[in-house]
Structure 1
Amino acid sequence: MAHMPLAAIRAILFDKDGTLVDFDRTWFGISWELANRSAGGDEAKARALLEQGGYDWAAGCFRANSVIAAGTVEDVVDLWHPGASPVARAAIIREYDDYSVREGARAAVPVAGLREALEALREQGYLLGIATNDSEAGARATAEALGLTALFHTFIGYDTVLRPKPHPDPVHHFARATGLEAWNIAMVGDNPHDMETAHAADAGYAIGVLSGNSPREVLEPLADVVLPSVADLPRLFAARREGSIS
């Protein structure tokens, strides 16, 4: 499926939640608190809202490509507050964004081997970026909380670009920021919308990881390669130099 060899890749753009950090461990408590706020403290309604947003109570996890797993805070607010006036909607979005930036950084649980993988990729010469449907402030706050800020060249949130994932805008923004072409960039993510972003932008490579919400059978039809996690990326890219993978 890849239209460029790995040797053409010069930069790697990562989804954040489910790719760099454990989505369910990081975001369940935050989402539950926001659902409770939206429900006015009615626990049954809050449970229904969380399920509507994508939480599978029986499985104990968020569903792949669900609103909470893949959407923006604006998508969540529109789902939970469909009748809000423009002024009320804007206020709720600000409230949710502020809470998510603060608590998302505080609660962030990195995937195993994250720092080592990012450092190895930097040593291999790759520029790294984050493209998330969280806010740009949320991406920066999480990286800072995990002590990873210096490893990233660019931070892209849903509010950084005109159109967030699955549109091509995040990849194109990263290309402009790095001075590269989209085909020099690999997009890494755990949800179909990450792979759709890569294809829409004509990125050089789409890499799915199984550390988040999507199983292999969901990602494989959309990805050029599917890996257990970002911890496997340095080995994948090191292999290109040995000519053992295209």
Structure 2
Amino acid sequence: MSKPQIRGIVFDKDGVLFDFQRTWGGWAHRIITVLSDGDGALAQRLADALAYDMSTRHFRPESFVIAVAAHEVSGVVAAHLPGRSFDDVHEFLDTQAAATPLAPAVPLRPVLSDLRARGLRLGVATNDTESAARAQLQAVDVLDLFDIVNGSDSGYGAKPDPGMCLAFAQGAGLSPDVLVMVGDSTHDMSAGRAAGFACVAVLTGVASADDLAPHADVVLPDIAALGDWLDSH
């Protein structure tokens, strides 16, 4: 029996549309520097909590930041700052994130336009907030190419739960067996698999091919390789 033709793709945002280390490595360095306010021991505790290397400005592969919802990152940071409330810390991190220079993983508009030209419906399912995702996609002039953008606060839960994937399927009017989840983490692959999607992993995040291969149908270098994969699928 032949495989059904792919009719829609859901993308994670960070590590997929945007290169994770080049975008968020600098953000982490800035927020740790500001929040520690010259206290080297506190800076190190914050870096350790985020599994972040201040010297290389890179997250380590085991960092939970790679996959969790934004409020979870705020909670961990706030736990090390007893003089500041969760809401205060969360607002600060969100403001800093909104001002972070974005590093697209590939030239996004031509790649996504090619997928649209194939008749595919496109969506985003991110554990970031929906408003942040929309603002960042608008900033790089690709928001108009997506049919549906969901974040962890959109009402469908956060990955690895499949809610955002299933919401895309319902919103697009398509069955899961003709849809693909593209991600850079095992959380993404788990969400897609639980929703009944095909799962494509890319290497523009922090996880390695060895980390991702057991959970994905295929591992690609980046989303620019999707066109060739679709042609051969």
TM-score (norm 2): 0.89
Find the counterpart in structure 2 of residue 154 from structure 1: 148
What is the identity percentage for the equivalent residue pairs of Structure 1 and Structure 2? 34
Aligned-pair distance for 1:97?
2.1
2:63 matches 1:70: no
Find the counterpart in structure 2 of residue 221 from structure 1: 214
Structure 1 segment 36-185 matched on structure 2, within 5 A: 36-56=33-53, 60-64=57-61, 66-82=63-79, 88-100=85-97, 102-104=98-100, 107-185=101-179
How has the CA–CA distance of structure 1 residues 150 and 162 changed in structure 2, closer, same or farther, with 3 Å as cutoff?
closer
The whole-number CA distance in structure 2 between the counterparts of 1:143 and 1:48 is 32
Amino acid at match of 2:196: D
Find the counterpart in structure 1 of residue 200 from structure 2: 207
2:28 matches 1:31: yes
Q: Which ranges in structure 2 are unaligned for 5 or more consecutive residues?
A: none
Say whether the 8 Å CA contact 1:65–1:191 is kept in structure 2.
no
The whole-number CA distance in structure 2 between the counterparts of 1:5 and 1:110 is 35
Aligned-pair distance for 1:72?
1.9
Find the counterpart in structure 2 of residue 243 from structure 1: none
Say whether the 8 Å CA contact 1:67–1:75 is kept in structure 2.
no
Say whether the 8 Å CA contact 1:56–1:62 is kept in structure 2.
yes
The whole-number CA distance in structure 1 between the counterparts of 2:57 and 2:78 is 24
Aligned-pair distance for 1:6?
5.5
Find the counterpart in structure 2 of residue 194 from structure 1: 188
Alignment: residue pair count: 232
Say whether the 8 Å CA contact 2:123–2:149 is kept in structure 1.
yes
The whole-number CA distance in structure 2 between the counterparts of 1:72 and 1:111 is 21
Aligned-pair distance for 1:41?
4.0
Find the counterpart in structure 1 of residue 19 from structure 2: 22
The whole-number CA distance in structure 2 between the counterparts of 1:206 and 1:149 is 23
Amino acid at match of 2:222: S
Aligned-pair distance for 1:83?
7.7
> Pairwise CA RMSD of aligned residues?
2.4
TM-score (norm 1): 0.85
The whole-number CA distance in structure 1 between the counterparts of 2:44 and 2:2 is 46
Say whether the 8 Å CA contact 2:133–2:151 is kept in structure 1.
yes
Say whether the 8 Å CA contact 1:63–1:69 is kept in structure 2.
no
SS of the aligned residue for 1:221 comes to: helix
2:220 matches 1:236: no
The whole-number CA distance in structure 2 between the counterparts of 1:111 and 1:174 is 23
Of 211-220 and 173-182, the range deviating more from structure 2: 173-182
Amino acid at match of 1:223: A
Say whether the 8 Å CA contact 2:128–2:151 is kept in structure 1.
yes
Aligned-pair distance for 1:218?
0.4
